[in-house]
Structure 1
């Protein structure tokens, strides 16, 4: 399988090249030359596999012979077999006959991003090691990413301590949940650098893209992407659509529908309700559908609803970002949408480039009525405000004894809105093809958004041990204006390529520490000095 850019100019790229490069030179995103179609026989075989083997089988379709079967299975095993707390990796929970929740938060940072970033971290390591084993020169790569909360911690946990990898993660200052911030800033490994940016997530994301488009800077530091602009992120997320589909059939004693099936048309359709801001998670669902999985997709947004407005009106228009209690979705510029636009344009890269140019210069772009109908054939959508988010959290807690994070609650609200479109609340009459059930993707553990959850239900969610420990751990963080040049200077200063950092691997930690860390370190230093002084006085008296 080879890859090309959404904007033309870059084609014939290998999987390794697109993973290590992230963004194409002309600013486009890489997509596969074709979408493989899954056969009934493959579905039958996949339905019997544990998650890590299923993931490897799906990924193989997009990787081909670039990674051997044995090595790919080993990468997948490292990513999923031992790092997730649930044996199913992404377990499907049944609420009632119509409603299910797909829990994607059983990884090390308790967010759905772990599914992709555990894999991507191991993939980076694999490619660098393989290069060294071939006797090729290996320079450190610089992972530069932006986060609205969960990508940062998941990337950091996937890459901390890895050889030849520097990690710089930008987050909007004061616009991520406290738990999310502490998950990132309490990781003190010398290759990890957090940067709080005075601006929004869109500002952070724009800076990252500008840095990748800066040819000299990109070449000097060998930039690599962890945001969902990296194709490997989308590829890894396709896996849990298939896994959950098989889980649904097993839970409802319907596996015979696959095992005895001879025609994909006879398989039941499931509806996936996907909370999304950057369009990555829903795009993975779109690829799963295009591959042949019988699904329908619902986009769920908060009040920053540019994606919902596009589905409804055919126009995408940027508005001011409104801070909400679902901060990971506080986005107006959804990077991955460009990949879908290429599909919408029938692979016309010039058309996509024109759309993206309009969007950048005018803050809006629109599609034709025929193209808009195509959009509506692929997606339904819904938005919700803060009150509706809180109401959904409370409702599902009271009715099902289930506590959801605010982002998941956007999905639950969307699911209920579609259910309530008919008097008998029958999904089969609401959705176009008919659907056996609806599955809302649960994107994060509720404890990561404890303040919002407490507002909704009057009590705190139970904190898993690692999240509880974050509350009192030492932190380290840099600060910056929302400016590309300022970020470039920080990368240059703290990169492992900097000779000063090679001489003193950990000496810079105090300089870059947040105020809390500074106070902690100074206190430790003064306390230690007092002990030494006291001991000296004692023994000199003797």
Structure 2
């Protein structure tokens, strides 16, 4: 399997080269040169597998450089802290099914991918005798999940940018209290898009990137998308009675990475009928699907901060397929976005987009009301992001036994919202109980490229 850029300037990369490059050197995102297809016989073979073996079967189709035993060892190490027999419980609640993706070390769905990516980085670096400086941006959960994936590892530093005062207190404390000397948390004055722009601009300085050997953990890294694709198969097998039945999946999303993984799974042959995007007030993806209006507006703080995003990085990967693999059209569209702050998708392209996805949005009040209703109806507690998905499913009238909402974070990560709505505090998992007793360590910098590059240069080892 070889990899290329959505913008056409990079091709022929191995899986390991794609993982280490992160953002393509031409500014695009890396994608496989072909997507493996699974038939009904293949799906039946995967049906009863435990999670680690399922992950191996999916991931191995996208790589040919890592020996089978080594790949399986990386996967087993990545999920050793999970109950891999029931790693992602799929429960009935709110008239549908809820897939609990948050049973990893930081209680976020992003642990599934970032535990794998951290071990994959370590494997490749050890083999090559190299050091890596990871650079990432977070609107909430990516930061802590990435940090927990690489903290304390030899030959790796991680520099994680997050918008000051725009992540939950629990999320911030998870990131900043690891007491690990290879972890650097940077509070940026601004919003998540400012953080993401800084990361991309730093990667686009190819000389600096090569000098510091920068790597990416955001969902611009292909390995994250690939690892997330696995759980769509898992959820499907836990929902259907027989292979071939269709399901609907609702994805609360801001950066489009999670829902793109579902799109990839469907292109591989997984029978997903409706793939729904659920957004909060920061509704660029909903506007795009409904009206073809991918225009950047101001970011509004909400109670579901992981989706407080107006520039959905992974949308470029989807554009590549929407434009029929025309890299020149992708490049032109991304340049238009940079200059004019919008991409206009009309005509047959909008029709295709609407066949691929449906979308809706929820306000803060909608999410709070949904948390309240789900608890009253099902005695089941959900976080605001999951509530966004459940609300949109009801608005779009696809609540059914074969509809699954991805639950992306443990409700205990948003205790103030839960307490405000329900008048009760969520049960605190063991890994979150002593956060307030730890010492917070973070660094404040302005959203200036030179300030970030200077900080990385001073602290990279």
Q: TM-score if structure 2 supplies the norm length?
A: 0.98
Q: Is the 8 A contact 1:86 1:106 kept in 2?
A: no
Tell me what 1:502 maps to.
Answer: none
Tell me what 1:294 maps to.
Answer: 271
Tell me what 1:4 maps to.
Answer: 4
Tell me what 1:466 maps to.
Answer: 431
Residues 488-541 of structure 1: CA deviation (Å, up to 9, x unaligned) = 111111111xxxxxxxxxxxxxxxxxxxxxxxxxxxxxxxxxxxxxxxxxxxxx
**How far is 1:87 from its partner?**
4.0
Q: Is the 8 A contact 2:239 2:402 kept in 1?
A: no
**How far is 1:281 from its partner?**
0.4
Tell me what 1:19 maps to.
Answer: 19
> CA RMSD of the aligned region, Å?
1.2
Alignment of 1:88 onto 2:81: no
Shift >6 Å, 4+ stretches: none
**How far is 1:344 from its partner?**
0.1
* CA distance, structure 1, for counterparts of residue 239 and residue 250 of structure 2: 15
* Secondary structure of 1:218's aligned partner: helix
* Secondary structure of 2:434's aligned partner: helix
Counterpart pick for 1:352 among 307, 311, 330: 330
Tell me what 2:252 maps to.
Answer: 275
Alignment of 1:487 onto 2:452: yes
Tell me what 1:52 maps to.
Answer: 52
* Secondary structure of 1:419's aligned partner: coil
Q: Is the 8 A contact 2:100 2:406 kept in 1?
A: yes
Q: Is the 8 A contact 2:51 2:84 kept in 1?
A: no
Q: Is the 8 A contact 1:85 1:107 kept in 2?
A: no
Tell me what 2:77 maps to.
Answer: 78
Tell me what 2:261 maps to.
Answer: 284
**How far is 1:473 from its partner?**
1.0
Tell me what 2:304 maps to.
Answer: 326
Tell me what 1:244 maps to.
Answer: 235
Equivalent runs, 1:120-131 vs 2, <5 Å: 120-131=117-128
**How far is 1:42 from its partner?**
1.4
Equivalent runs, 1:456-535 vs 2, <5 Å: 456-496=421-461
Counterpart pick for 1:225 among 216, 219, 229: 216
Counterpart pick for 1:308 among 279, 282, 286: 286
**How far is 1:86 from its partner?**
6.5
* CA distance, structure 2, for counterparts of residue 83 and residue 196 of structure 1: 30
Q: How many residues align?
A: 460
Alignment of 1:405 onto 2:403: no
Q: Is the 8 A contact 1:275 1:299 kept in 2?
A: yes
**How far is 1:419 from its partner?**
2.1
Q: Is the 8 A contact 2:52 2:84 kept in 1?
A: no
Structure 2 unaligned runs (5+)?
none
* CA distance, structure 1, for counterparts of residue 26 and residue 346 of structure 2: 25
Structure 1 unaligned runs (5+)?
132-137, 259-266, 428-435, 497-542
**How far is 1:368 from its partner?**
3.0
Q: Is the 8 A contact 1:212 1:223 kept in 2?
A: yes
Q: Which has the higher contact order (CA 8 A, sep 6+)?
A: 2
Moved more, 85-94 or 448-457: 85-94
Alignment of 1:172 onto 2:170: no
Tell me what 1:112 maps to.
Answer: 109
Q: Is the 8 A contact 1:171 1:196 kept in 2?
A: yes
**Structure number with bigger Rg:** 1
Tell me what 2:194 maps to.
Answer: 203
**How far is 1:319 from its partner?**
0.5
Residues 201-250 of structure 1: CA deviation (Å, up to 9, x unaligned) = 0000000000000112101110000000000000000011100111113x
Tell me what 1:387 maps to.
Answer: 365
Residues 53-99 of structure 1: CA deviation (Å, up to 9, x unaligned) = 10010001111x2111111111111111x222574211111227x50
